[in-house]
Amino acid sequence: MNMEVPEGHPRAESLRIREKLIRGFEMGVVAKAGLIAHGRGEAFDYIIGEETIEPAMNAIRAAVALMLTAEHPVISVNGNTAALVPKEIVELAKLVNAKIEVNIFYHSPERVNAIRRLLEDAGAEEILGIDDQYKTTIPEISSMRRYVDVRGIYKADVVLVPLEDGDRTEALVKLGKKVIAIDLNPLSRTAQWATITIVDNIVRCVPLMCDIARELRGRDRQELGRIVEKFDNRENLKLVIRHILERLSELSKKGIYLPEVSEVFKEMRE
Ligand code: ATP
Ligand code: MG
């Protein structure tokens, strides 16, 4: 099934993203639960205003600075991430010199292969997490996600985990790793446990991370270290929640969200 998204549709962008996920599902890349997880993210994006807010931008800067100063940075890729931003993930990995590792909850050799093919088509040269020879476990995790690559997440000091599950974020943090999460829900366990939480849609966030990586690449380590030091995740999450609060408070006064609705009702009154 491939529905054309009509031009000019008010939710065109969001529908196009859904189409990408459905195609990813049909290719065996995205899990059923991945489709549901996306819906939860969309709901938060609606409330946030479907834009990258300032606290997200600050988290992006800190996250990129942290990746650039890391010893062994790793980007963990699941089905939704591979379906939505494969090229951008490969680009970011190159810019910050990070390894890419496939790590999925609903594990099967077919799914791992489908994700690998997609990442290779996007230009990835080395993909970890697919060769059994290098497989080891993180005992703190009970799901299939406990299998990690000895060359990747196992020895990483910084792990970027887009659209992550809370259990694993908690486990990685408890193992002493710095975890960067991309999650539209500032209240999720992932968002709360992460070292740096970027509350933004992955489709907006990863291209912005690439831009910032290009900007910060040449800076010296001290300066990058200062950017990381200055960032306070708890304070930043407060700012995200305040943004939501203020936006909803504004809307609660008007009761109307869409300008076109407002126009029609005004005309009817006149
Ligand atoms: P947690 O396990 O961290 O408590 P959860 O169980 O509520 O979270 P999961 O299904 O484990 O949620 O993970 C999906 C998360 O990914 C959700 O928090 C959702 O907001 C987020 N998400 C989904 N799609 C996107 C997207 N496109 N961009 C950013 N975040 C997204
Ligand atoms: Mg979860």
Cα pseudo-dihedral 191, 194, 200, 203, rounded to 10: -120
CATH code of 214's domain:
3.40.50.12640
CB 106 within 8 A of CB 31: yes
DSSP labels, 69-89: H-SSEEEEE-HHHHHH-HHHH
Whether residue 237 is contained in a domain is answered as: yes
Whether residue 72 is contained in a domain is answered as: yes
What is residue 105's predicted lDDT score, i.e. its pLDDT?
85
User: Alpha-carbon distance 195 to 101, whole Å?
Assistant: 19
180: burial class by Cβ within 10 Å (0-12, 13-18, 19+)? buried
**Which is it for the CA torsion 251, 239, 161, 96, positive or negative?**
positive
Whether residue 32 is contained in a domain is answered as: no
Residue appearing with tokens 């969200």: 257
Ligand nearest the Cα of residue 161 is 1
Q: What is the DSSP letter of 193?
A: H
Whether residue 268 is contained in a domain is answered as: no
Pocket-testing residue among 40, 81, 160, ligand 1, by greatest number of atoms within 8 A of Cβ = 40
Longest dimension (CA), the chain: 74
Task: Show the ligand 1 pocket: residues with CB < 6 angstroms.
Answer: 37-38, 40-41, 44, 163, 165-166, 182-185, 188-190, 201-202
**Which is it for the CA torsion 244, 246, 249, 253, positive or negative?**
negative
Ligand nearest the Cα of residue 47 is 1
Whether residue 235 is contained in a domain is answered as: yes
Residue nearest to atom 9 of ligand 1 (CA): 165
Residue 159: phi and psi, rounded to 5, are -125, 125
For the chain, give the percent of residues with pLDDT over 70.
Answer: 98
Over 90: is that where the pLDDT of 81 sits?
Answer: yes
| CA distances, 174 to each of 16, 103, 179, 207, 211 (Å) | 37, 18, 10, 29, 31
Residue nearest to atom 15 of ligand 1 (CA): 163
The residue type at 117? R
Tokens of 270: 């006149």
Whether residue 177 is contained in a domain is answered as: yes
Find the 188 Cα to ligand 1 centroid distance in Å: 7
The residue type at 48? I
Residue nearest to atom 10 of ligand 1 (CA): 37
Find the 184 Cα to ligand 1 centroid distance in Å: 7
SS3 label, residue 269: helix
Whether residue 218 is contained in a domain is answered as: yes
Question: Which position has the higher pLDDT, 143 or 27?
Answer: 27
Number of domains comprising the chain: 1
β-pairing, 147-149 vs 196-198, is: unpaired
Find the 160 Cα to ligand 1 centroid distance in Å: 14
Residue nearest to atom 20 of ligand 1 (CA): 41
Q: Which domain holds residue 169?
A: 54-241
Helices H / strands E in the chain, number of each? 12, 8
Whether residue 265 is contained in a domain is answered as: no
pLDDT in tens, 214-244: 999 999 999 999 999 999 999 999 999 999 9
Q: What residues contact residue 211 under an 8 Å CB cut-off, 6+ apart?
A: none
pLDDT in tens, 110-161: 999 999 999 999 999 999 999 999 999 988 777 777 889 999 999 999 999 9
